[in-house]
Chain A
């Protein structure tokens, strides 16, 4: 078999020149190999257990094409991103505000830290159920859930940023008579922004994973809703297709928004 050839030990002279190895790494060839193997196993399972449990890869691909060409893709991805975006933005805004207060009143920092641990140890499901009770079957449910999940991650990152502020730089700025606004703009903000961006990166991914769960209840759009709807209508192939859409959205947002943002925030390092 070809795979055993690859894994077999070869004499040093037979190792291809560095260029090949680098190219293989660039293209993630080993990962692709494993994925290919997974695809083969999946096809076998599909043959063995049937399309309801394991829809064949070709059906999933067709489903994906249907979703993409039928206009459903943008409608539901847009709906999910809209809710996540709102909850996420609100959580970021609240943590920045909390950071400003915490930076000025050290006493509030303990409160923020403790609240953060409490929020961090609260299950997503608590917020989903509470959202159903408080907000009913509406858009507000997933938004609220995203907000509550993103908030502690952002709070703890902003807090860490403030804890790691270089007091000596602030003292220098004071000795040079920089106004409070300028101290904030030129010293505090640039120090905290890398922590903020790192937090945004992690918490957005978290928010995306969580808010699709919240979309199981009360709304009739969104990736989470469509996955559940596909399951209801026995279209397991579409469940897989939407799952792939979810992964793609995550990767695209990461690469298009957060990677460049994080590069910019850390450019001076």
Chain B
């Protein structure tokens, strides 16, 4: 399998000079590079621009400047098949459809329908541990299962990158741990490049192969840490907590100043 690794692109996802402003700069010259097969956890204070980054990557928003490269080639995120499979904070499943129908619907733009879409949907529902639940209406599924169905939907479009935006923040701690394990399992099984946005340092350290810290607005990449079995996670958690704390305070100052001077 080493030969395959050599053919791999340098970066699965790379942003160069990504800039976006809504009255104030949200992203300013953001450079972020994700290696193929990485499970990168992005940490940053609330309001630092993570959501804007996600919306750009999902093709919901255009950057003012900068480029996004997928597999080392400039990517058109606004049209064509989704390059990024996105899992939102909420499951965002259509409640009038079954889990399988929800997954199958996302395949329609890829030209897959009928039996082929149903087979693909079933395959990915199995992968996320929802075997046998495809026919369930989404309201009948627990919060954790709904979020897994959303992950199945994101994987089913077979995107270059899987992007999860604080997907488990609404779940209770017990379920949350199960879901984290599930993500790691899915990552192992598929070798997918995953970007996981979270505000929990513990979560980031528990699942990531790398943790990256974003600054207060406008978001810059402050630092990142590779994780492996030898990493002292307690010490690292303390270090990150200190750095993140600074950025959170800085972000609060920015927000307070902005509240004082209306645009």
Interface residues of A (CB under 8 A from B): 168-169, 171-172, 174-179, 182, 186-187, 190, 267-269
Contact = CB atoms under 8 A, between A and B. Distances in A.
B17 interface: no
A187 B94 contact: yes
Taking residues whose C-beta sits less than 8 angstroms from the other chain, chain B's interface range is: 20 to 34
B88 A172 contact: yes
Given A175-B82, A176-B82, A268-B137, A190 B108 contact: no
B94 A190 contact: yes
Nearest to A170: B92
A177 B82 contact: yes
B157 A190 contact: no
A173 to B, nearest CB: 8
The 8 closest A-B pairs by CB, nearest first: A268-B96, A177-B109, A172-B92, A175-B58, A176-B106, A190-B96, A175-B86, A268-B95
A176 B94 contact: no
B109 A186 contact: no
Interface of B: 58-60, 79-82, 86, 88, 90, 92, 94-97, 105-106, 108-109, 137, 139, 153, 157
A168 B90 contact: yes
Most buried by A among B79, B106, B139: B106
Most buried by B among A172, A174, A176: A176
B139 A268 contact: yes
A182 B113 CA distance: 13
B81 A175 contact: no
Most buried by B among A169, A177, A267, A268: A177
A178 B60 contact: no
A174 B108 CA distance: 12
A168 B92 contact: yes
Nearest to A194: B96
B13 to A, nearest CB: 16
Contacts of A186: 94, 97, 105
